[in-house]
């Protein structure tokens, strides 16, 4: 934005207005010293960022003020965090040093700023080692959880102001947010922030779907409010008569959760029954919370029949992120299912503000599951995996998973993620128990290591000193702790075996009269294509490389080298491959230069012309073309942004692409014939395969067809929907 068009005086007034609003937000929690410290931080940030502007053209200082505002009002952090939020970009972006911060603001603030500065490269627009950086970010969790909380506030504001960024940057930042930041907010109990991050993530990764659901929510808002009032009226009267103090609210579910349900259930917006939920917030002292929640539940179910399969009691047993609430789904007026959430004011604050609120109420409770989770993270980080992506996958497994509760023989309660096995529980008890686990007794019945546990199981883990971890165990567990400990044990075992293999190899070389010099060992390693010497020795020990074959390596050539590739297939760095593909335009045009550029349509999402797509550079398979809403897209764009190539389609109609269609309906006479007739009559559409299955008068068909683009496919699907008896026609991702 040109300097001449900027009203600097107006901007100064706006900056002061925002700063005063921030002070007002934290007025209750700060004393005179805090106010002086915040003012000093604001002045330093204002001076340091005075010449900087955001992509939107706004003064950069708007951003740190907004991050501080989120930290106070939406996370519930105090004055120290406000100071750190105001200064979070100062050390990285200006000449102010870490030592300057320490002198001006003290050790505590300096430590948090140091954590924020160290992770400033996490998920920046150029970083390629995303997983490694994320692990570094989690290391700061060991020092002060406020580092992560301020980082989440920073990311939330970036998501709220993403409109001014380029489309490819929007996609990358939104994908990272969906992939890791939203799950992390969820795990720290920041439900409101997690929900907003998910919705904003969907807004930029699937804008058309976001707008469609948002529009329908607005269109049905009046009708929804009318129904909520009708549902609530008898409950309100009964709660008042019972002498309970309460608030009752009706709220629409998040756009992302509605989208996920539509996708999972393969139904349109109109067929999602629980678009909204009723929240009942009870006002009562701590010692009466549980009783009052169940009293309110009793009143609700006096009027509406509950679904026995949909009762969730997180009041008696809170979730690991501190969440407490009683959820039930009841049959409301007009035959509609309605979810009712019952909680107290304290529980509601913890549900919305997560860790900060949990800390506020900590004196009222003992060490919670959230403290235990943070301790587990610290344990995981003490011995991080050499492969950062493995660590990241293991960590992510435990962010969003639902939980189950099982009991030890002594009645001790253990919390595990859904789908956890006997082996997961064994490692949860102790590493030694996991390593020696052979089976378990569930309710006195013998089961195997891989048996999946259910809530309420009483489990006795059986061990044997002869047992040791095996490679296949990694496929039996879901917890990060179990995976980490199994890999650790396998690594120790591999090293032990490799020592045996080394002795065997040296003995064989001695028999052959060959020196064990480093040069000779390198030739042998290269001959057998072993990645490292440890792998070479290990393969000798377990018989993958027979000792007798060592002679072949020696006799083949005294100057054995790694086979060189011909110039045609010579491997280049990923950067070189990407650069060659991108060229000057930084854009891959699909359908052109097929001979020059090796690309293929990804089978995981089967993109076709008209889909919003991107290219992903692989080492061995050229470039894979994925849809932007592919299930793998967020992971690829988050962890391997440097391999992502912008892509668009040409208008070459003669190219056909494979797409899948699922058709469901009532099994009427001749319906399959009618469907196939429409497809065969459609110009330029060929079927590759068709299969139909019927059950109790309902049929489901899967059809693979070749089409030109999304418009072609949409037209075909519209025609199929008009066939008598057809209930739904949806596109499927994979063949």
Q: Which of 34, 93, 260, 733 is catalytic?
A: 93
What residues contact 23, with CB distance under 8 A and at least 6 apart? 35, 38
| Beta strand segments in 151-253, E | 245-252
**CA atoms of 658 and 638, how far apart (whole Å):** 27
Pairing state of beta strands 403-407 and 312-313?
A: unpaired
Q: Which of 58, 106, 65 is nearest to 88 (CA)?
A: 65
Q: Which residues of 546-570 are buried (b: 16+ CB within 10 A; e: fewer)?
A: eeeebeebbeeeeebeeeeeeeeee
Task: Give the Cα separation of 631 and 604 in Å (integer).
Answer: 8
d(CA 284, CA 293): 10
Q: How many helices (H) and strands (E) does the chain have?
A: 30, 19
Q: Are strands 613-617 and 276-283 parallel, antiparallel or unpaired?
A: unpaired
User: Which structure tokens are listed for 74?
Assistant: 């939406």
Cβ atoms of 74 and 196 within 8 Å: the answer is no
Which residue in 92, 99, 143, 503 is the catalytic one?
A: 92
Question: Taken in order 29, 34, 36, 38, is the CA torsion positive or negative?
Answer: negative
Backbone dihedral region for residue 678 (phi beyond 0: left; psi -120 to 50: alpha; all else: beta): alpha
Among residues 255, 290, 171, the alpha carbon closest in space to that of 629 is found at 171
Residue reference for tokens 């000193």: 465
- Structural contact between residues 275 and 306, judged by C-beta atoms closer than 8 angstroms: no
Judge whether 595 counts as a catalytic residue: no
Please report, for residues 8, 17, 68, 153, 181, the alpha-carbon distance to residue 74 in angstroms, rounded to integers and kept in the order given.
30, 19, 10, 9, 16
- Could you give phi then psi for residue 247, rounded to 5 degrees? -125, 145
Q: What is the C-alpha to C-alpha distance for residues 659 and 731, in angstroms, rounded to an integer?
A: 8
Cα distances from 325 to residues 182, 183, 285, 343, 418, in angstroms, run 21, 20, 16, 5, 19
C-alpha triplet 324, 330, 331: angle, nearest 5°:
165
DSSP annotation of 59: B
Strands 623-627 and 599-601: parallel
The residue behind tokens 């150029």 is: 126
Distance of CA 466 to the CA centre of its chain: 39
Instruction: Name the 3-class secondary structure at 246.
Output: strand
Instruction: Assign 3-state DSSP to the chain and report helix, strand, coil percentages, each to 5.
Output: 55, 15, 30
Burial of 348 (0-12, 13-18, 19+ CB in 10 A): buried
Q: How far apart are CA 57 and CA 104, in angstroms?
A: 30
Contacts of 151 (CB under 8 A, 6+ apart): 116, 119, 122, 137
- Is 93 tagged catalytic? yes
**Token pair in block for residue 124:** 């920046």
Tokens 């052959």: give the residue. Answer: 512
Which contiguous run of DSSP H or E holds residue 257? helix 255-265
Catalytic sites, residue numbers: 92-93
């Amino acid at each position: 934005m040109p300097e001449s068009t900027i009203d600097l005086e107006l901007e100064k007034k706006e900056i002061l207005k925002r700063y005063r609003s921030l002070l007002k937000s934290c007025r209750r929690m700060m004393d005179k010293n805090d106010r002086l410290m915040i003012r000093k931080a604001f002045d330093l940030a204002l001076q340091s960022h005075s010449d900087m502007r955001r992509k939107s053209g706004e003064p950069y200082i708007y951003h740190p003020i907004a991050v501080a505002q989120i930290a106070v009002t939406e996370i519930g952090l105090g004055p120290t965090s406000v100071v750190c939020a105001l200064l979070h970009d100062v050390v990285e972006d200006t000449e102010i040093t870490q030592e300057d911060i320490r002198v001006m603001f003290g050790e505590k603030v300096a430590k948090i700023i140091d954590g924020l500065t160290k992770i400033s490269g996490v998920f920046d627009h150029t970083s390629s080692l995303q997983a490694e950086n994320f692990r570094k970010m989690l290391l700061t969790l060991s020092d002060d959880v406020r580092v992560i909380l301020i980082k989440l506030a920073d990311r939330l504001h970036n998501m709220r102001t993403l409109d001014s960024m380029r489309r490819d940057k929007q996609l990358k930042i939104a994908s990272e947010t969906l992939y890791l930041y939203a799950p992390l907010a969820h795990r720290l109990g920041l439900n409101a922030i997690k929900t907003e991050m998910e919705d904003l993530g969907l807004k930029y990764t699937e804008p058309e779907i976001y707008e469609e659901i948002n529009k329908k929510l607005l269109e049905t808002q009046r009708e929804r409010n009318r129904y909520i009032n009708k549902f609530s009226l008898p409950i309100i009267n009964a709660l008042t008569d019972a002498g309970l103090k309460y608030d009752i609210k009706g709220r629409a579910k998040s756009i992302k959760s509605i989208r996920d349900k539509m996708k999972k259930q393969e139904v349109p917006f109109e067929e999602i029954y629980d678009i909204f939920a009723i929240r009942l917030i009870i006002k009562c002292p701590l010692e009466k919370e549980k009783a009052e929640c169940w009293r309110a539940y009793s009143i609700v179910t006096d009027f509406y029949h509950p679904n026995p399969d949909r009762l969730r009691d997180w009041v008696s047993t809170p979730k690991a992120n501190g969440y407490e609430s009683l959820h039930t789904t009841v049959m409301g007026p007009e035959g509609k299912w309605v979810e009712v959430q019952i909680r107290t004011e304290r529980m509601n604050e913890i549900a919305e503000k997560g860790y900060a609120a949990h800390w506020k109420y900590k004196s009222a409770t003992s060490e919670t599951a959230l403290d235990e989770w943070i301790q587990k993270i610290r344990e995981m980080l003490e011995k991080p995996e050499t492969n950062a992506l493995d660590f990241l996958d293991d960590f992510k497994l435990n962010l969003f998973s639902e939980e189950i509760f099982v009991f030890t023989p002594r009645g001790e309660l253990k919390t595990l993620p859904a789908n956890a096995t006997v082996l997961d529980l064994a490692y949860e008890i102790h590493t030694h128990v996991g390593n020696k686990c052979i089976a378990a007794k569930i309710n006195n019945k013998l089961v195997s290591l891989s048996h999946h546990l259910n809530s309420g199981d009483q489990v006795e883990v059986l061990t044997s000193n002869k047992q040791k971890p095996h490679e296949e165990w990694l496929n039996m567990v879901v917890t990060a702790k179990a995976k980490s400990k199994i890999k650790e044990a396998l690594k120790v075992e591999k090293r032990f075996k490799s020592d045996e293999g080394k002795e065997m190899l040296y003995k064989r070389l001695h028999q052959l009269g060959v020196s064990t010099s480093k040069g000779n060992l390198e030739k042998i390693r290269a001959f057998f294509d072993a990645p490292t010497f440890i792998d070479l020795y290990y393969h000798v020990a377990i018989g993958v490389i027979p000792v007798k074959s060592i002679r072949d390596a020696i006799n083949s050539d005294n100057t054995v080298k790694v086979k060189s590739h011909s110039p045609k297939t010579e491997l280049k760095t990923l950067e070189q491959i990407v650069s060659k593909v991108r060229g000057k335009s930084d854009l891959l045009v699909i359908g052109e230069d097929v001979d020059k550029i090796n690309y293929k349509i990804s089978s995981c999402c089967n993109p076709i012309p008209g889909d919003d797509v991107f290219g992903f550079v692989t080492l061995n398979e050229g470039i894979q073309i994925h849809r932007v809403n592919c299930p793998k897209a967020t992971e690829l764009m988050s962890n391997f942004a440097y391999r992502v190539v912008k892509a668009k389609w040409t208008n070459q109609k003669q190219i056909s692409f494979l797409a899948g269609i699922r058709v469901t309906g009532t099994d009427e006479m001749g319906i399959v014939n009618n469907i196939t007739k429409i497809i065969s009559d459609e110009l330029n559409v060929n079927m590759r395969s068709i299969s139909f299955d019927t059950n109790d008068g309902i049929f489901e068909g899967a059809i693979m067809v070749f089409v030109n683009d999304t418009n072609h496919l949409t037209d075909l699907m519209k025609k199929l929907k008009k066939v008598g008896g057809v209930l739904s026609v949806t596109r499927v991702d994979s063949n």
